[in-house]
Copies of this chain bind each other. A is one copy, B any other.
């Protein structure tokens, strides 16, 4: 029996469809299921065999986004070294998921319902813990709450993805823009704090 091949094929196809959908919906959130299917190179019927409907597709994208974020958090080793460096690693690791996050960010369907994926709360908590650690160690200012810093980080990542997508900023500047604005702000400082970077 070919069950092994069957499952494997479905899995890889499902993932491919999901990523195509993410790429399309990122810059056209109202795309038709037919357009989503075409973008993935399959028919609407097959798309419907993978995902019961638009709702299910969006939920799957949400799960994928959460999964990628958690992988990024793991890879960034948020507990190691200076908190500021951890933030830089985090932004770097989060970059591949930025487009998907930008889409999910605008899909407020996900948050207005009664039950929302608890994965977001887990992510929020882990990132908030990083900012809290930085505050306790004296690296970060204490007048901005970890909750706000976390939300602002997501907001800046979404903005960064959008501005890169629109072509106004080069993709290679993504990390630097976000991490350095997040950490150092727009003001120029005398302390040799952030001037070192790989810009341009």
Contacts and interface: CB of A to CB of B under 8 A. Distances in A.
Contacts of A108: 27-30, 106
A147 B173 CA distance: 13
Given A84-B187, A193-B187, A147 B131 contact: no
- With a 10 A CB-CB cut-off, give which of A27, A155, A159, A186 has the most chain B CB atoms: A186
Given A108-B29, A197-B143, A138 B186 contact: no
A149 interface: yes
Interface in A64-112: 84, 87, 105-106, 108-109, 112
A190 to B, nearest CB: 6
Given A141-B194, A143-B199, 15 more contacts: A27-B108, A29-B108, A30-B109, A105-B106, A141-B186, A148-B169, A148-B173, A151-B159, A152-B156, A154-B159, A182-B185, A183-B186, A183-B187, A184-B187, A185-B186
